[in-house]
Structure 1
Amino acid sequence: METKYGFTKMSLFEFEKWIGQVRVGRTVLKIQQHHTFIPSYIHFNGSNHFERQLAMKNHHINQNGWQDIGQHFTIFPDGIIVTGRSLENSPACILNQNANAICIENFGNFDSGGDVMTIEQQSCIIAVTASICKRFNLMPDSNNIVYHHWFRLDNGHRNNGSGSNKSCPGSNFFGGNKVVNFNLNFLPLVEAKINSGQIKLDTTAVLKYVSVATDELNIRVLPTSSSAKATDRSSVKRGAVLRVYQEQNNWFKISNSLSHWVSGRYTSEVKRATVTATSLNVRTGPGKNYPKTASVSKGEEVFVYDEQKDWSKIGSEDKWVSKQFLKYD
């Protein structure tokens, strides 16, 4: 591994070891796949990984007005992975779809007529996606692994690429950017790398889920405000959903194996649920009289922040669905 400009460069072997050990407080439900488009292969000389990553960060901050680089990882044509923003922070990659996600930017232009993806990059994209699925216990499917193309550019609503969408991660990304291309060409490779298409989070040890309700929440080694901060992981940010394994005097243990605690005073409880309807309307308030703004698909996992009669709020913002179509963990 090598670190420069605040980024870490890793081989696939190093990444697979690192991702298995890194501590992440927030709950991850999705992996986003993107391509950089510009920069493309012509901008990569085989050794300028850090410089290209820094240029993307500067663009995201200075041109887009974001606080950091948008993605968590960039995968380069030679199969090298470079880290981006902290895994404790949501990405800035798909409008209204970044909560509980990890973003992968694949370096290059993979539209038809663009760059021809190298074997090294292909293999790395598959292996990194599989490693993240295993690390965060994600079922490899089109709800948990998503392409940017499936979401409208102007509002982030999922329409599977039927209009007002970017081509990202490229119209020729592993044979195409549609859901059918994903299912035929990309998903089987990820499943084969995982070595099983049937992994699922064992939630039996999880007592409950909470959302962080302060800008930054310290993680301590004991359930008291006077105990030391944990040195092997970052603090967690506002909006992150944490798994709680034990509760003591309104302190929550957020690791099943280590003594890592947060104060419950700065959290609010949420519930994890799965959508059972084929397509479930999302509205701006708890009733059919509120405008429809989006929809969520069958099998998609959401967190419920509030309930009013027959309606459930599935985001910290105003996103409400009929709760009869939710199955709670």
Structure 2
Amino acid sequence: MISKSGFTKLSISEFEEWIANLKVAKTILYLQQHHTWNPSYISFKNENHFELQLAMRDYHVNNHGWMEIGQHFTTFPDGSILTGRSLEHTPACIFGFNANAICIENLGNFDLGKDAMTAAHKETIVRMTAALCKKFSIPVNSQKIVYHHWFNLSTGERNNGTKNNKTCPGTNFFGGNKVADCEKNFLPLVAKSLGAAAPPAHVRVLKYAYVTADTLNIREDADAKSNKVKGRDAAILGSILRVYEIKNGWYKISSSDHHWVNASYTRDVKRYIVNAHVLNVRSGPGTNYPKVASLSENQEVFVTEEKNNWFKISSDNKWVKKEFLSIAK
């Protein structure tokens, strides 16, 4: 494990141990698979992992104006992994589908006739996906593990690659980039990698809470005088936290450790599922407001506010009609 320029390089075995022990406050529901397209394999020189990652970060910051690199992780042809954006931050990877997701960029161009994925790279992508599914209790299915190709670039609507879509993660990514390809060729490998791994013990989430402060310290006890938890980032504005226990105006946000946040810097939210085939997202609570995105059937969202039978589903004024959401069970 080597760290440089704000990134950490890990082998797949190191990653599996690291992610199993990492504490993440934010609720994770989805995994995204991407390919970088450029840089591709020809740019990889077996020792320039950090150079390539820095170049991607510079491009994202200077050309797109993002605050940091867009992805959470990058995988490389030799099977190595580099960390990117903090998991406490939303990725900048699929328009309209970034909330509560992890973005994995796989270095290479995996369109037909381009880069032939190495065996080491394949193993890392499969095992990494399995490790993340285990860590965050993500079901191995095509509703939760998604390809960029399945989303309209302009609206964010999931159309499974029928109109205005990138080829990402590549037309030959594990045999193809369609939903059927994923279900036939990729997901069975992930499920096999999970194998007999024991699923996490089920601990009931009492409710969900939305962080209203710019940063919210996580402490060792339900007391403002308690020490901040070492080695764990503060929760940030807009994060959705899982609440396992309530005590004296504090929320316990870890199922296994005594990690607490002051509830006065949060607002309770509820988890909903889209029950329409396509649901328009507008910039305000009414059809007179412009359409800014779309949601797909069975997509999950957290509702932060209700007004005139409309639900607000993010901190940046995105609203949907209440009747097209059903409470998640």
Moved more, 221-230 or 95-104: 221-230
Moved more, 42-51 or 314-323: 314-323
- Quickly say closer, same or farther: Cα 1:95–1:163, change in 2 above 3 A: same
Secondary structure of 1:63 counterpart: helix
Q: Does 1:90 align with 2:54?
A: no
- 1:279 maps to what in 2? 277
Task: Give the drift of 1:104.
Answer: 0.3
Counterparts of 1:83 and 1:177, CA distance in 2 = 24
- 1:213 maps to what in 2? 212
Task: Give the drift of 1:200.
Answer: 8.8
- Unaligned 5+ segments in structure 2 are none
- Quickly say closer, same or farther: Cα 1:201–1:27, change in 2 above 3 A: farther
Verify the 8 A CA contact 1:242 1:254 in the aligned structure 2: yes
Task: Give the drift of 1:321.
Answer: 3.8
- 2:261 maps to what in 1? 262
Cα deviation code 1:96-116 (max 9, x no counterpart): 221111010000011112111
Verify the 8 A CA contact 2:222 2:260 in the aligned structure 1: yes
- 1:238 maps to what in 2? 237
Q: Structure 1 counterpart of 2:261, which letter?
A: V
Secondary structure of 1:193 counterpart: helix
Q: Does 1:223 align with 2:217?
A: no
Counterparts of 1:63 and 1:312, CA distance in 2 = 33
Counterparts of 1:123 and 1:194, CA distance in 2 = 13
- 2:252 maps to what in 1? 253
Verify the 8 A CA contact 1:138 1:200 in the aligned structure 2: no
Verify the 8 A CA contact 2:218 2:234 in the aligned structure 1: yes
Counterparts of 1:27 and 1:251, CA distance in 2 = 18
Cα deviation code 1:179-218 (max 9, x no counterpart): 121111111111111227996993x521110011121111
Q: Does 1:73 align with 2:81?
A: no
Verify the 8 A CA contact 2:270 2:327 in the aligned structure 1: no
Task: Give the drift of 1:54.
Answer: 1.2
- Quickly say closer, same or farther: Cα 1:253–1:85, change in 2 above 3 A: same
- 1:307 maps to what in 2? 306
- Quickly say closer, same or farther: Cα 1:289–1:61, change in 2 above 3 A: closer
- Quickly say closer, same or farther: Cα 1:25–1:163, change in 2 above 3 A: same
- Unaligned 5+ segments in structure 1 are none
State the TM-score, normalizing by the size of structure 2.
0.92
Verify the 8 A CA contact 1:40 1:108 in the aligned structure 2: yes
State the TM-score, normalizing by the size of structure 1.
0.92
Task: Give the drift of 1:225.
Answer: 2.1
Task: Give the drift of 1:327.
Answer: 3.4
Q: Structure 1 counterpart of 2:232, which letter?
A: R
Q: Does 1:39 align with 2:26?
A: no
Moved more, 248-257 or 32-41: 248-257
Task: Give the drift of 1:323.
Answer: 3.9
Matches within 5 A, 1:10-159: 10-159=10-159
Verify the 8 A CA contact 2:78 2:121 in the aligned structure 1: yes
Task: Give the drift of 1:324.
Answer: 6.2
Moved more, 214-223 or 121-130: 214-223
Task: Give the drift of 1:9.
Answer: 0.8
| Aligned residue pair count | 326
Counterparts of 1:52 and 1:261, CA distance in 2 = 38
Matches within 5 A, 1:179-194: 179-194=179-194
Task: Give the drift of 1:262.
Answer: 1.0
Counterparts of 1:55 and 1:113, CA distance in 2 = 25
Q: Structure 2 counterpart of 1:5, which letter?
A: S
- 1:8 maps to what in 2? 8
Verify the 8 A CA contact 1:30 1:100 in the aligned structure 2: yes
Counterparts of 2:48 and 2:324, CA distance in 1 = 52
Q: Structure 1 counterpart of 2:273, which letter?
A: T
Counterparts of 1:47 and 1:308, CA distance in 2 = 54
Counterparts of 1:164 and 1:190, CA distance in 2 = 29
Give identity over the alignment, percent.
50
Cα deviation code 1:273-316 (max 9, x no counterpart): 334x3625234255677666413223x33222233465543333
Counterparts of 2:124 and 2:138, CA distance in 1 = 18
Cα deviation code 1:125-149 (max 9, x no counterpart): 0110111011000111112111111
- Quickly say closer, same or farther: Cα 1:54–1:290, change in 2 above 3 A: closer
